[in-house]
Amino acid sequence: MEEQVRKLNAEYGFNLSEDEIKEIVRQAEETERFLRPLNEMDLVDVMPILKVEKKVKR
């Protein structure tokens, strides 16, 4: 992940300091852990939702 941040830094010209790079990597790793339970779901046959359907309570 650190390599990816360094690459973006060079490509986009963010001028990130070493401390900032480390902070972004740390936060990205925390986010990755936070999102992990999503990948543990059984999603066979589940379509992504794209729009709220026009269903109302009968």
Partner 1 sequence: MKPIDIEAMTIANVSRHIRSKKLSPVELTNWFLQRIKRLNPVLNAYVTLTEERACADAKAAEKEISRGRYRGPLHGIPVSIKDNLVTKGIRTTAGSKVLAEWVPDHDATVVERLKKAGAIILGKTNMHEWASGGTTINPYYGTTCNPWDLKRVPGGSSGGSAAAVAASLCLASIGTDNAGSVRNPASFCGTVGLKATHGRVSRFGDVPGTGGFSSDHFGILTKSIRDCTTVLKNIAGYDARDPLSSEYPVPNFSRDIGNTLKGLKFGILKGYFEDKVSGEVKTAIDEAARLLHSLGMKKVEFSISHMDLIPAVQTVTSRVENIVHLMPHMKSRPNDFSRPLLKRLIGSLMIPASSYVTAQRVRRIICEEFEKVFENLDVIVTPTTPITAPTIEECQQGFVEVDGRKIALQPVGISLGTTHTVPFNVTGLPAVSLCCGFSSLGMPIGLQIVGGNFEEGRVFQVAHAYEQAAGWFERRPVM
By the criterion CB under 8 A, which residues form the site for partner 1? 1, 4-5, 8, 12-16, 20, 23-24, 27-28, 30-35, 37-39, 41, 43, 46-57
Distance between CA atoms of 47 and 43, rounded to whole angstroms?
Answer: 8
Question: Least distance in Å: CB of 13 to partner 1?
Answer: 6
Q: What share of the chain is helix, strand, coil (3-state, %, to 5)?
A: 55, 0, 45
CB-wise, 18 or 50, nearer to partner 1?
Answer: 50
Question: Least distance in Å: CB of 18 to partner 1?
Answer: 13
Tokens of 35: 């999102």
